[in-house]
Chains A and B, each alone.
Chain A
Amino acid sequence: MASRPQTVRRPPTAGVNLSLNNPTVRAILYQIVVVGAVGLVVWYLVSNTIENLETRRIATGFGFLDREAGLPIGESVIPYSPADTYARALFVGLLNTLRVALIGIVLATLLGTIVGIARLSSNWLVAQTARVYVEVLRNLPLLLQLLFWWTLFRDLFPGPRQAITPLPGVFLSNRGVQLPAILWQPGYGYVLGAFVIGVIAAVAVSRWAKRRQASTGQQFPVLWVSLALILGVPGITFMAIGAPFALEQPELRGFNFVGGVTLTPEFAALLVGLVTYTAAFIAEIVRSGILAVNQGQWEAALALGLRRGQVLRLVVLPQALRVIVPPTTSQYLNLTKNSSLAVAIGYPDIVSVANTMLNQTGQAIEGIAIIMAVYLTISLSISAFMNWYNRHIALVER
């Protein structure tokens, strides 16, 4: 049947057609026009700017970064004094941004998950309380909420002498939140080491359990054993070295507290504001993620004899997480971007520091470029993670 020799025929090569009616030519022309127009506008703005910078004698370039900043920063995770350079001041700001963002992300995830599950509770009161929480927090500007918390901490909380003490050692006053600090003891190095060993052992046990289940079908209470290893090994070590433990209590000296850990009113307001606001959005994401898993999935899994916990772990959560993770990541990004509102309540984040810097040096372009570069880096790394995640779990759904 296929014995007839076939002549190989190639597709004709397109002749060169430079007519304006050729779609390819048109597209190229069109692009040249648009790019040219945009380029022209940009060139106009840039040339104006250069001219303006010259007439106003504003310096350009990032040379100022090595100069002494002379700007005091209220709180810092690394040693800093106004005598340090602008570069170091900016780094302090960046660390402050990352500090509030990281703690905020962890707490917002916890709170958001709890509220989201509460929204689905069969208990009417619980569900309604969660609903009111979400509706109120989502429908008010974040900046308003931040100012509200800040004012509340600063104006309505009593002075240090009348500080509110919800738990022994914890003081709420208009100077911020004072917490007792755990003092480092010589033996804690061993406890830390034991913790690492516990984690490694837990990973090893879960791998072993997985292999054993694959080969023999025997199951093993991995979760409980892992927890016991992770908490128990350092716990026993702690006991073995004689359980050394000392708290540094905050103490009132004169008009302020000494010792312990201090959260400034600015940090506390920013953290509370960001966490409660973002949690409202995460709650809605969690809720819709769980609702997105079809009721039939529960029924089918239960009908197969799986226990409720197994259904949740093996069937429902893997599906719900695929719906939940992408929008939650963009909420993390939003939280990080929103931490820039710190500038309104005087928490020294990167925007705050850069803003003060650009006012001092007059180099607006460089200052704003730094802010944007920092946030673009964070945004791009998070989207890179998202793309990786999406590829990783590319879902083949019906």
Chain B
Amino acid sequence: MVVPQPVKSVSPHPMIEMRHVHKWFGEFHVLRDINLTVNQGQKVVVCGPSGSGKSTMIRCINRLEEHQDGQIFVDGIELTNDVKNIEAIRREVGMVFQQFNLFPHLTVLENLTLAPIWVRKVPKKEAEETAMYFLERVHIPEQAHKYPGQLSGGQQQRVAIARSLCMRPKIMLFDEPTSALDPEMIKEVLDVMIELAQDGMTMIVVTHEMGFARTVADSIVFMDRGEIVESAPPQEFFAHPKTDRARLFLSQILGH
């Protein structure tokens, strides 16, 4: 069993706990006995070859995918088929997607206020103030009244981050947030994520950006073929990978 060590965490209060989680797509075993604990304020970077189950694992945390065996606890609540439970957890967990998934028919501001108004039942004015605050945090307050289609990829992804933050989540999940971006836009998104990490947000990030992992992560989780193969603090993982699979992966990704 591999449990990431809480290296710099503020308090050892576990925000996410996965115990012996399994999942199949038809006959295909995508997640095999996943055990993972993420404490409050901890930043975990998940990496591994494509198809290794990284995205599926974090999508299980807010129930975009259903796990079929084992248990998942988010902030002490167990994920079950109970609709109320799922809604409660989704309110606490923010998610940023590879393809941004902004709502194209709404302006940036409306994208940001939709969920607070309808889920958190916040007055419109207050929701808009919150939205403007977070747009400033991601450095694009001037785009508030544009439609997503008028923004660049990097700006869209920052809007998506702000959209999640408007729900004041306790945990943020990032599913390859920079993979769909042009190289010159990656930095502006990573900078926002680093600032977020410095503020103490609990984060799980699936990414291939090893520079980001080195700067931010408390712990790196390496997955391959549906399993967590290795879990270690970044210095240790990059300097002395324990398994051959991790060594191979690192040589491929850092090799050139």
> Which residues from chain A sit less than 8 Å from chain B, CB to CB?
213-219, 294, 296-297, 299-307, 310, 314-315, 318-319, 322, 395-398
Contact = CB atoms under 8 A, between A and B. Distances in A.
Given A319-B104, A398-B156, A296 B149 contact: no
Contacts of A303: 62, 64, 90, 93-95, 164
26 contacts: A215-B125, A216-B123, A217-B120, A219-B121, A294-B101, A296-B97, A296-B101, A300-B102, A300-B160, A303-B64, A303-B90, A303-B164, A304-B90, A305-B90, A306-B115, A306-B119, A310-B118, A310-B119, A314-B114, A315-B114, A318-B105, A319-B105, A395-B104, A395-B105, A396-B104, A397-B104
A318 B107 CA distance: 13
Given A319-B105, A396-B150, A217 B115 contact: no
B212 interface: no
B248 interface: no
B126 interface: yes
A288 to B, nearest CB: 17
Given A299-B64, A303-B64, A304-B163, A217 B117 contact: yes
Given A219-B121, A396-B150, A297 B115 contact: no
B87 A305 contact: yes
B101 A214 contact: no
A217 B121 contact: yes
Nearest to A214: B124
A164 to B, nearest CB: 46
A198 B68 CA distance: 50
A305 B121 contact: no
Interface of B: 62, 64, 87, 90-91, 93-95, 97, 99, 101-105, 114-115, 117-127, 147-150, 156, 160, 163-164, 167
A7 to B, nearest CB: 38
Instruction: Provide the main secondary structure of the chain A interface.
Output: helix
A300 B123 contact: no
A167 to B, nearest CB: 39
B101 A398 contact: no
B147 A218 contact: no
A294 B98 CA distance: 14
A396 B114 CA distance: 18
A300 B118 contact: no
Contacts of A219: 118, 121
Among A314, A322, A395, chain B packs the most CB atoms within 10 A around the CB of A314
Contacts of A314: 114, 118
Given A219-B118, A294-B99, A396-B147, 18 more contacts: A213-B121, A214-B124, A215-B123, A217-B121, A217-B122, A217-B126, A297-B103, A300-B102, A303-B90, A303-B164, A304-B115, A305-B90, A306-B119, A319-B104, A397-B147, A398-B102, A398-B148, A398-B156
4 closest cross-chain pairs (CB), A and B: A300-B101, A396-B147, A304-B115, A214-B124
